[in-house]
Amino acid sequence: MAVINAPPGLLKALILKEASRAPLSAIKLIEKIGERTGGIWRPSPGSIYYLTNELESKGFLKKLKVEEERYPKYIITLKGKEELENIVIASKKDILKILTILKLYAEVTEDQNLMQDLENACKNITLI
């Protein structure tokens, strides 16, 4: 299976999203992303640590040091939740663009069911 490179900004969005659900360490972030992509994408520790440090310095994440834990955990802040809301809106617009491109691919295949499914998906996206 080929390894993929994520689009710019996706890792930041995933970190904030996961940190909004529960406090977790950088190692857990890597594991969760790897699991969710079936192993196709597993961010490097350097990428995760760089972004968690950047997000913490901007006030989007708070580092929690738990004595019995080896690695610090990160949790989203109020400022981070506001940033995540902006990312959600932008992500929906990106998804709509990607679906539009996929519709063009479907036209090439002449698969009517696929074309209809993608058309329905585009119609069902609420941008606001």
pLDDT in tens, 16-53: 999 999 999 999 999 998 898 888 888 999 999 999 99
Is residue 15 within 8 A of residue 26, CB to CB? The reply is no
pLDDT at 23: 94
Asked if the model's pLDDT at residue 128 lies above 80, the reply is no
Asked if the model's pLDDT at residue 123 lies above 90, the reply is no
Q: Return the domain boundaries, the chain.
A: 7-76, 78-128
pLDDT at 3: 60
Strand residue runs (E) in the chain: 24-25, 61-64, 73-76
pTM above 0.85? Answer: no
pLDDT at 88: 92
* Residue type present at position 78: L
For the domain spanning 7-76, the CATH number is 1.10.10.10
* Residue type present at position 74: Y
Is residue 98 within 8 A of residue 50, CB to CB? The reply is no
Q: What angle do CA 3, 15, 63 make, to 5 degrees?
A: 135
Tell me the pLDDT tens digit for each residue of 76-101.
999 999 999 999 999 888 888 888 89
Is residue 17 within 8 A of residue 86, CB to CB? The reply is no
Backbone angles phi, psi at 105, to 5 degrees: -60, -40
